[in-house]
Amino acid sequence: MPHIVFAPSIQRHVEVAEQDLPGATLAGLLQAVFLQQPKLRGYLLDDQGGLRRHVTVFIDGLRLRDCERLGDPLNADSQVYVVQALSGG
C-alpha cells in the first residue's frame, strides 16, 4: 500500500500520523486519510476538490502533476509526502 507522510507544517494545523493506506491515485489515498481525519480535507483541498495553493505533494520524489483532479497514479510501494508550499520572492 502507498505510504503517506504529512510534514510538520501540516501537522501544526491538523494532527495526522504517517501511514500505509490503499489508493490507486492520490485522490483515492487522500479519501482514505479524510475518513480518519475529516478536518484535513478543508485544509488541503479547495471547494472544487483541487489542491490548495499553499499545499504541495510529492509522489516518489516527483511533484504532483494533476493538482485539480489529483489523478496521479500510485504504485503499491509509492511514497507520498504532503508539505506546505512556499511562496514569495
Give the model confidence (pLDDT) of 36-65 as tens digits. Answer: 999 999 999 999 999 999 999 999 999 999
Distance CA 51, CA 56 (A): 8
Confidence (pTM): 0.93
pLDDT at res. 88? 58
Cα torsion 25, 30, 32, 36 to 10°: value is 170
Confidence of residue 89 (pLDDT cuts 50, 70, 90): low
Domain positions in the chain: 3-84
User: Considering only CA atoms, which of 20, 41, 21, 30 is closest in space to residue 71?
Assistant: 30
Residue 87, number of CB atoms within 10 A of its CB: 7
CATH of domain 3-84: 3.10.20.30
